[in-house]
């Protein structure tokens, strides 16, 4: 057996899709006499959950305080020193060393961005050294299934300068069996939506995740426009064809005085009224999934929401779970949500990502691999989705290269698997 060893790690500050700095880490490994180098970059969110791992930013004047040179220094210095000599195929050891080296629960000392960059770069370099695609290296022989795309085609909330309280209006194209067909269907609906908006003289400029951000006011209007677009594209707005999914990102709506205040309309609601509101929307539109329908600390409302809608639709915990296996297990115990959003930078290491996926599976929860609103052209998320056997992937609209990079990689993987 050839010995595989990490030679060094390094990092650089690059830009994400919002023009903010982010970290790219590179690993060099040696297997036998050959050296292999691979890099991976780290995304960044706008509606971040309170319980996420800590993204280290420099503060100060540079880039408005958003520089990541301290995180870059973590990788170039301490992290590289600690990982050099380790076996890059032993992901669990690498991630344990990273966690111990940081020494905090939320990776705030070295930065979760530094730690995740290192964790991902090692995995990529190890896969390369073994001549395997990353999804196969991480997922083994079982990594044969493509996720269904959940495509964000209409943006609101903090992702768009319009009047919609709900952050994401997504479509799930189904009824085809192949990723390629699902992607085509979703893209056709996206283009049809552009025509629907143009016909009403509504803006077709796009938000952070590539979805349109028209100046519409209500969720009813937004859903009706999407249903019309689905029809115009020649599909049925129904299960088996194209359905709707929402990400409310309602942690952003929690009022310090208790209850919820919609950020743009200013409407206030109790948790009970909010749950009734979701039931109403689900009864009017073919919505099959609602993400973060109530706040990240409101376990009780999560349980109530799940009791009232959980048999009918997917209730996805994003800010609620923050890809933390312990929070996922708590959710399962309490009957909160029935699906888990997986965002690697919420937790900080690849091992924890897969642990969160296993926890979700043990509870019978669905798994959705997800991008962040601030992304790079890195397509690693596609491989992670296939490796994890994710049911769905969120990578935004079929527009903007940082979004399509993941979809295009999935097309390539599907091709390879055939
Ligand atoms: P974020 O939002 O990446 O801006 O946090 C994405 C989401 O809430 O799913
Ligand atoms: Zn979300």
Q: What gap in Å lies between CA 269 and CA 92, rounded to an integer?
A: 44
Q: Please indicate whether residue 80, judged by its CB atom, sits closer than 6 Å to ligand 1.
A: no
Q: Candidates 22, 167, 381: which one to mutate for ligand 1, based on the most atoms within 8 Å of Cβ?
A: 167
Full-prediction pTM beyond 0.95? yes
Q: What's the 198 CA to ligand 1 centre distance in angstroms?
A: 27
Catalytic: 343?
A: yes
In the reported structure, the alpha carbon of residue 45 is separated from the centroid of ligand 1 by a whole-number distance in angstroms of 5
Distance, CA of 218 to CA of 285 (rounded, Å): 14
Any residues with CB less than 8 A from the CB of 171 and at least 6 apart, and which? Answer: 150, 151, 153, 186, 189, 226, 230, 242, 243, 244, 245
In angstroms, what is the span from residue 292 Cα to ligand 2's centroid? 6
Whole-angstrom distance, CA of residue 113 vs CA of residue 253: 26
Q: Is the CB of 372 under 6 A from ligand 1?
A: yes
* Integer CA distances (angstroms), 165 to 173, 276, 289, 290, in order: 24, 16, 17, 14
What pLDDT, on the 0 to 100 scale, is given for residue 177?
Answer: 85
Q: Which of 413, 415, 398, 353 is nearest to 192 (CA)?
A: 398
Pick the atom of ligand 1 nearest to 48's CA: 5
Cα separation, 27 vs 38, in Å, equals 6
Atom 1, ligand 1: residue with shortest CA distance: 45
* Tokens linked to 65: 């305080």
- Residue closest to 37 by CA, chosen among 76, 64, 77, 10: 10
Q: What is the pLDDT along the chain (418 residues), one digit of tens a residue?
A: 789 999 999 999 999 999 999 999 999 999 999 999 999 999 999 989 999 999 999 999 999 999 999 999 999 999 999 999 999 999 999 999 999 999 999 999 999 999 999 999 999 999 999 999 999 999 999 999 999 999 999 999 888 888 999 999 999 999 778 999 999 999 999 999 999 999 999 999 998 999 999 999 999 999 999 999 999 999 999 999 999 999 999 999 999 999 999 999 999 999 999 999 999 999 999 999 999 999 999 999 999 999 999 999 999 999 999 999 999 999 999 999 999 999 999 999 999 999 999 999 999 999 999 999 999 999 999 999 999 999 999 999 999 999 999 999 999 999 999 9
Q: How far is CA 291 from CA 64, 88, 135, 203, 336, in A?
A: 31, 35, 26, 26, 12
Collapsing DSSP to helix, strand or coil, 326 comes out as helix
According to DSSP, the residues that pair with 148 across neighbouring strands are 392
Question: In terms of Cα–Cα distance, which of 281, 285, 278, 326 is closest to 302?
Answer: 278
Please, are residues 387 and 50 in contact by the beta-carbon 8 Å criterion?
no
Closest among 310, 277, 370 to 47, alpha carbons compared: 370
Which residue among the candidates 24, 55, 188, 209 is catalytic per the annotation?
Answer: 209
Whether residue 43 has its Cβ less than 6 Å from ligand 1: no
Q: Which phi and psi angles does 8 have, rounded to 5°?
A: -170, 160
Residue 386: C-alpha distances to residues 140, 146, 284, 343, 415 (Å):
10, 6, 33, 14, 13
pLDDT of residue 231: 98
Distance CA 148, CA 83 (A): 36
Residue 80 · residue 10 · CB < 8 Å: yes
Question: Which ligand has an atom closest to residue 209 CA?
Answer: 1
What is the C-alpha to C-alpha distance for residues 364 and 192, in angstroms, rounded to an integer?
Answer: 36
User: CA 108 from chain center: how many Å?
Assistant: 21
């Amino acid at each position: 057996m050839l010995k595989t060893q990490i030679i060094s790690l390094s990092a650089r500050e690059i830009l994400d899709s919002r023009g903010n700095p982010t970290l790219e880490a590179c690993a060099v490994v040696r297997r036998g006499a050959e050296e292999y180098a691979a890099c991976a970059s780290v995304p960044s969110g706008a509606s971040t959950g309170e319980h996420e791992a800590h993204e280290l930013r420099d503060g100060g004047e540079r880039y408005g305080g958003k520089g990541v040179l301290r995180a870059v220094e973590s990788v170039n210095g301490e992290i590289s020193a600690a990982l050099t000599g380790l076996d890059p195929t032993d992901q669990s050891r690498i991630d344990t060393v990273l966690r111990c080296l940081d020494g905090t629960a939320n990776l705030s000392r070295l930065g979760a961005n530094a730690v995740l960059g290192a964790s991902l770069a090692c995995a990529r370099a190890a896969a390369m050294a073994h001549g395997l695609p990353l999804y196969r290296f991480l997922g083994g022989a079982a990594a044969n299934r493509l996720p269904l795309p959940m495509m964000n085609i209409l943006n609101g909330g903090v992702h768009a300068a319009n009047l919609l309280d709900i952050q994401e209006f997504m479509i799930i194209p189904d009824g085809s069996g192949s990723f390629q067909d699902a992607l085509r269907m979703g893209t056709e609906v996206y283009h049809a939506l552009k025509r629907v908006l143009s016909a009403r003289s509504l803006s077709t400029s796009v938000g952070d995740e590539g979805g349109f951000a028209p100046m519409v006011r209500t969720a009813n209007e937004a859903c009706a426009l999407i249903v019309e677009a689905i029809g115009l594209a020649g599909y049925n707005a129904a299960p088996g064809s194209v359905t709707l999914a929402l990400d409310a990102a309602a942690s952003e709506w929690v009022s310090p005085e208790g209850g919820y205040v919609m950020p743009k309309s200013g409407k206030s609601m109790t948790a009970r009224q909010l749950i009734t509101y979701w039931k109403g929307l689900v009864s009017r539109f073919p919505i099959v999934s609602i993400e973060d329908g109530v706040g990240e600390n409101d376990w009780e409302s999560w349980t109530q929401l799940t009791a009232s809608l959980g048999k009918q639709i997917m209730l996805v915990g994003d800010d609620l779970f923050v890809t933390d296996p312990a929070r996922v297990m708590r959710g399962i115990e309490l009957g909160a949500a029935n699906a888990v959003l997986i965002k690697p930078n919420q937790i900080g290491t690849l091992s924890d990502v897969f642990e969160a996926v296993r926890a979700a599976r043990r509870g019978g929860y669905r798994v959705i691999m997800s991008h962040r609103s601030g992304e790079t052209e890195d397509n690693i998320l596609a491989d992670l989705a296939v490796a994890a056997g994710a049911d769905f992937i969120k990578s935004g609209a079929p527009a903007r290269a940082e979004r399509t990079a993941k979809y295009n990689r999935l097309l390539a993987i599907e091709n390879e698997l055939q």
